[in-house]
Amino acid sequence: MKIALLGYGKMGKAIEKMALDQGHDIVLKVSREQSYDLSGVDVAIDFSVPEMATTHIKNCLEAQVAVVSGTTGWLDQFDEIVALCNAQNGAFLYASNFSIGVNLFFEITNKVAQIMDNSTYDASIKEIHHTQKLDAPSGTAMSIAKAIIDNSSYTNWELIDSSQKELKNKPHTIGITAERTASVPGTHELTYNSPIDTIRLTHQAHTREGFVQGALLAACWLEGKKGVFSMKDVLNIS
């Protein structure tokens, strides 16, 4: 498979190494805002920055190149990208996190949210990432919050200021805490707290390899398809 890397930071370099080890060809690497030719590309993988993601995705869809995106912080334009993909009869797959473990964590969250709804427990989320991560909260934390909202009486989420410990007097709102620490690939904790006990679910990434593996799996899966997809489609999760 001939792959374009749109974004050539830590994730781009890690994807390149694993892709070459698996016998794929890296035919294009874009590390900054520049013009580029997508001719001969089978699938593009976007791990760029929020302000460039939609440009990269649009370029791919208009060039009839399947595109996988893991860039977060641009989802206010997601509906526009979906409309363009459908209009171009293209192929687009977005995930806030490509780790197979995290995507299974999302499914566990769905079920737990249903079980815990209308209980005496209050839900909160904590995420910890490396200091180079630009957005807060992480796209993964927002996906966890969305899973809870979609499966319970919670209606929204709110980022907790670093000076606070928890949300006060805001029913049906999930508090999200974001921490930035050097050399942390990614940790996400979902906590249900009550006056008498605490239930905590945690996913902790040890390396970037899980994200890289999932992104390449998604790229291989997307090749030759048409439509808008997610990791649920890749993993055949109904």
CATH of the domain at 74: 3.40.50.720
Residues 140, 45 share a domain: no
Residues 118, 51 share a domain: no
53, 46 Cβ separation under 8 angstroms: yes
Tell me how many domains the chain contains: 2
Residues 119, 81 share a domain: no
Active site annotation includes 133: yes
Q: What does the pLDDT average to over 72-84?
A: 94
How far is Cα 18 from Cα 100, in angstroms, rounded to an integer? 16
CATH number where 178 lies: 3.30.360.10
Dihedral sign from CA coordinates of 147, 152, 153, 154: negative
Strand, helix or coil for residue 121: coil
Residues 194, 213 share a domain: no
Q: DSSP assignment, residue 63?
A: T
Task: Name the pLDDT band for 166 (thresholds 50, 70, 90).
Answer: low
Highest mean pLDDT among 85-89, 132-136, 158-162, 211-215: 85-89
Full domain range(s) for residue 139? 100-205
Judged against a pLDDT cut of 80, whether residue 132 lies above it is answered with no
In this structure, what are the phi and psi dihedrals at residue 197, rounded to the nearest 5 degrees? Answer: -165, 175
As a whole-number percent, the residues of the chain with pLDDT over 70 amount to 96
List the catalytic residue out of 2, 13, 130, 133: 133
Q: What is the pLDDT of residues 178-233, one digit of tens each?
A: 998 887 788 999 999 999 999 999 999 888 888 999 999 999 999 999 999 999 99
Q: DSSP assignment, residue 179?
A: E
Residues 142, 57 share a domain: no
List the catalytic residue out of 129, 165, 188, 232: 129
As given in the structure block, the two tokens for residue 180 are 């930035």
pTM (whole model) above 0.85: no
Q: What is the mean pLDDT of the chain?
A: 92
Q: What does the pLDDT average to over 114-138?
A: 89
pLDDT at 135: 76
Active site annotation includes 126: no
Residues 29, 71 share a domain: yes
